Amino acid sequence: MTAEVFWAVAVGLAAVVAYVLVAAVRRAPVPSNGADADLAVYRDQLTEIERDLARGTIAEAEAERLRSEVGKRVIEADKARLTGSGATGRTSTAVIVAVIAAVIVPGGVAVYWGLGAPGYPDMALETRLAVLDEAIRTRPSHEEMLANQGRPRDAVLDQTLARELADTTDIEALRERAGQHFMSGEMQAAVRVQERILALQGEGASGDDHALMALSLVWEAQKYVSPEAEEHLRLSLRKDMDNDLARYLVGEMFLQGGRYDKAFQFWRPLAEGGDPAAPWTASIRERIGEVAELAGVSYALPAGTGSGPTAGDVAAAAEMTPQERQAMVEGMVAQLSDRLATEGGDVEDWNRLIRSLAILERLPEAQQIYDEAKERFRGRPSELSFLRLAAVETGLTP
């Protein structure tokens, strides 16, 4: 909006407000004064005189004298009412109108001229975003967060790992070992092995290698995206801007820092066109609506995105009794379990089965499925990380 348009709108609105106030003042009744009360009293006196005359308590001559005396007072009071009240009312209205015209419009313009800045961006929003960006920039380091969580790294374990890894140069063997540590929840070891993989490859390390390094750090810090993890995410995206795991974790970083707008920017393409088999795609699709709302964006996933129930499924379930719904869920879980046993499936299918069994309180079966899934996805840290999350959140043994 240009300055000219802004001032035209502002002055126009002020004029409308002033007009409404003036109209209200002009229509308001003029307050009554003492003369009105006197007139009422005198009229009552005249009525009383007529009653006394009719009852015979006073003579005709006395009644005439009283009428004459009260009549004079009525005339005087009426004159006072017409002159005093009318003049005062008109004067008061004129004064109020003048004050509104002289103060409301020019005064409002003057105040905004001193305090406002037409054409300026939303300084409050910019300041707030700057504060959030600064908080992200100065957030705790990885080591600081581990200490804050009461889980500092084991120095003895670090020394042992350093000796073991010093002479290991087989990258594929190291990747297998990193996956094993990841699967068993030994995140400090997983991080050190992944560091060795990057050190051996140097500049030749791929975007996936750096994304997995970031993922290992994130899981070691209980899902906190530290500055060290961020650096590996930057390196990953520098190698491959389309690395979905890196983009997912960058979104998590901005989400943790309160920059919901940037989190939404990174997650929207993954929610709409991400690989359905990727373990983070379902997580993003479940949360993207809330992230958009926090970012102040009106958004809904395109129709047909995701693998959730259809509107017909929801409507049918709503009409079921609790027992019927329970039977339906049991049937769906059985079908999914049979399909995974015979045909296999992606990590999201295994994740869904684990969580569904836990909801049904069939924890021994859920544990068995989780253990089987770990074997199927051995050596694939990103998939294992989401399976481990399902195990932790459902009370299984990871």
When pLDDT is averaged across residues 275-291 and rounded to a whole number, the result is 84
Q: Tell me, what's the pLDDT at 311?
A: 46
Q: Which CATH superfamily is domain 131-152+206-294 in?
A: Tetratricopeptide repeat domain (1.25.40.10)
Residue with tokens 């035209």: 8
Return the higher-pLDDT residue of 59 and 197: 197
| Highest averaged pLDDT of the listed ranges 13-22, 43-52, 99-108, 312-321 | 43-52
CATH number, domain 311-393: 1.25.40
Q: Tell me, what's the pLDDT at 263?
A: 94
pLDDT(48) > 50? yes
Residues 260 and 297: their CA atoms lie apart, in Å, by 10
Q: Cα-Cα-Cα-Cα dihedral of 264, 267, 268, 269, to 10°?
A: 150
Q: Tell me, what's the pLDDT at 46?
A: 73
Range of lowest pLDDT (266-275, 314-323, 376-385): 314-323
Q: Report the chain's C-alpha Rg in angstroms.
A: 41
Distances (CA, A) of 257 to 149, 254, 315: 18, 5, 38
Q: Tell me, what's the pLDDT at 310?
A: 46
Residues 201 and 210: their CA atoms lie apart, in Å, by 11
> Residues 62-73: pLDDT tens digits?
767 777 776 767
- pLDDT more than 90, % of the chain: 31
Q: Tell me, what's the pLDDT at 7?
A: 62
> Residues 134-180: pLDDT tens digits?
888 999 999 999 999 999 999 999 999 999 999 889 999 998 888 88
Residues 6+ apart with CB under 8 A from 385: 182, 215, 219, 279
pLDDT(185) > 90? no
291, 262 Cβ separation under 8 angstroms: no
When pLDDT is averaged across residues 270-275 and rounded to a whole number, the result is 88
Q: Tell me, what's the pLDDT at 17?
A: 65
Range of lowest pLDDT (9-18, 116-125, 299-308): 116-125
Q: Identify each DSSP E strand in 268-373 by its residue range.
A: none
> Residues 75-84: pLDDT tens digits?
776 666 656 5
Q: Tell me, what's the pLDDT at 121?
A: 55
Return the higher-pLDDT residue of 49 and 376: 376
Q: Tell me, what's the pLDDT at 314?
A: 46
- pLDDT more than 70, % of the chain: 67
Residues 192 and 198: their CA atoms lie apart, in Å, by 10
282, 248 Cβ separation under 8 angstroms: no
Q: Tell me, what's the pLDDT at 306?
A: 56
287, 281 Cβ separation under 8 angstroms: no
Where does 120-186 have alpha helices with state H? 123-137, 142-148, 155-166, 171-184
The domain locations on the chain are 3-115, 131-152+206-294, 311-393
Mean residue pLDDT across the chain: 78
Residues 6+ apart with CB under 8 A from 269: 247
pTM of the full structure:
0.57
343 — pLDDT class (breaks 50, 70, 90): confident
Residue with tokens 């092995």: 193
Distances (CA, A) of 334 to 305, 341, 357: 24, 11, 10
Q: Which helix (H) or strand (E) holds 285?
A: helix 279-294
186, 151 Cβ separation under 8 angstroms: no
CA angle 138, 141, 147 (to 5 degrees): 130
pLDDT(201) > 70? yes
pLDDT(357) > 90? no
- Residue 129: helix, strand or coil by DSSP? helix
When pLDDT is averaged across residues 1-16 and rounded to a whole number, the result is 63
> Residues 238-269: pLDDT tens digits?
999 989 999 999 999 999 999 999 999 999 99
Residues 322 and 72: their CA atoms lie apart, in Å, by 91
- Residue 311: helix, strand or coil by DSSP? helix
Q: Tell me, what's the pLDDT at 18?
A: 63
Distances (CA, A) of 340 to 192, 211, 283: 34, 28, 20
Backbone angles phi, psi at 154, to 5 degrees: -80, 115
Q: Does 311-393 match 131-152+206-294 at the fold level?
A: yes
| Highest averaged pLDDT of the listed ranges 23-27, 76-80, 226-230, 394-398 | 226-230
Residues 6+ apart with CB under 8 A from 360: 329, 330, 333
For helices 279-294 and 244-256, the axis angle rounded to 10 degrees is 30
Residues 211 and 238: their CA atoms lie apart, in Å, by 11
Q: Tell me, what's the pLDDT at 309?
A: 47
> Residues 304-321: pLDDT tens digits?
665 444 445 545 555 666
Q: Tell me, what's the pLDDT at 64?
A: 74
